[in-house]
Amino acid sequence: MLASVAIIAAGCSATNLENFPNTERVIERADYLDRKPIPSLTDYQEAAQVRVKELLSQPLTVSAAMEIAMLNTPKLQQHYQAYQIWDEDLVEELSVAGRKETDPTTTSMDWTAAKIALMKSVNTVYRYNFPREYFEVAEEFIDVGEEVRKTYFEAIAAHQLQAMLETTVTATQAAAELANAQYQAGTASLRSQAMQQMTHAETVKALAEAKLEAISTREALNRLLVLWGDDANWTAPERLPDLPAARPSYANLEEYALERRFDALSERKSWALWHTSVDVRSEVRENYATLLTRYDLAKYQQETVLPLSEAVLGETQKEYNGMLMGIYDLIDDTQGQIEAGREYVEALRDFWIAQAELSQAVGGKLPE
């Protein structure tokens, strides 16, 4: 499809009367509309709502979030109405495409939805400037897709970080209660008791902020997906997708982007192409460098920092069992391990967001 779009764009001529439908086509169009009236809004809405509830019956995946956005986003629905494909058949085609997506880390539903909408359109062929219209409409699908991807990973990360801080609060509360008991028994100083209480208080505040962040990112995603009522209470996966085992490597990304970016394709017959190409190439290089850096940081946290924190905690546990270290040392190292895990989740979140941004920079879909 992309190749055909490029060919159409390259051969697009200036505006002239040949671009407009002749009388025969106008009559043909009128006859078509008499045979196939504009679909009812209710038919689409009912079919879409059934599919949305089906998707929300399981923990929300990035593919499911994207499909819901393709169904519910008002500005995309306006295109469905304008193209007179506002019916249950469109919902079913999007559903079939969504079920084929099995990768929990990525999705091309935005690209797929744009293709389905434009190819099913009953009136695009009669418009006077098909290539430019194609680019402008499809780009809106891609823009929605990028925002959904980024917000989805932010929301899932916030949910995971909240769960980790809840574990930390449990540990600091136990330490604070122990310090209170030891102080009352005269085996701990007031300073020691106060320090444990302060640590617990700081952790409680951090948890409150984490809960607020989880609510904020969830509601941001709800707004993008146009979810309300019971639908807004979707279940989040327990954790982000794992970091890929191999470092991302893409060849000729700049050329790949120039063949797919709608802003570059729409300028092929324009003096602005050179400037657009410079911008596209620069954006791709910057986003690719960001992706690699985010991957390296997450990988370092995963393979170096986390194992070290586990090793420290393991040794502390042995020495505590041998009565060579105190309970507070064990609690401190437990918190250290949790903190290392929190930093890994944040690094993993940043990697997936960087991947979404690079996908957008190359036109909405990374190479295989």
Cβ within 8 Å of residue 289, ≥6 positions away = none
**pLDDT 10s digits, 126-155:** 444 556 667 778 889 999 999 999 999 999
Query: How far, in Å, are 36, 80, 84, 86, 217 from residue 40 at the CA level?
Result: 11, 12, 10, 7, 34
Alpha-carbon span 20 to 257, nearest angstrom: 32
Hey, is 65 helix, strand or coil?
A: helix
Mean pLDDT of the chain: 83
> Are residues 364 and 145 in contact, defined by beta-carbon separation less than 8 angstroms?
yes
Tell me the two tokens of residue 150: 């980024």
Lowest mean pLDDT among 9-23, 268-282, 329-343: 9-23
pLDDT on residue 115: 86
Confidence of residue 296 (pLDDT cuts 50, 70, 90): very high
pLDDT digits (tens, 9 = 90+) for 62-111: 999 999 999 999 999 988 888 888 889 999 999 999 999 888 788 889 98
The pLDDT score that the predictor gives to residue 130 is 53
Mean pLDDT over 219-235 rounds to: 96
Judge whether residue 47 has pLDDT over 70: yes
Select the more confidently predicted residue: 232 or 7: 232
Please provide the distance, in angstroms rounded to a whole number, between the alpha carbons at the two ends of the chain: 16
Contact between 48 and 87 (Cβ < 8 Å): no
Q: How far, in Å, CA of 138 to CA of 95, rounded?
A: 19
Q: Residue 217 — very low, low, confident or very high, per pLDDT cuts 50/70/90? A: very high
Annotated domain spans of the chain: 43-148, 250-368
- Looking at per-residue pLDDT, the higher value among 39 and 42 belongs to 42
Tokens representing 30 are 């009128």
Question: What's the whole-model pTM score?
Answer: 0.81
Residue type, 69: A
| Alpha carbons 319 and 22: distance in angstroms, whole number | 89
Q: What is the mean pLDDT of residues 6-25?
A: 43
Positive or negative: CA dihedral 348, 352, 357, 358: positive
User: Per-residue pLDDT for 12 more than 70?
Assistant: no
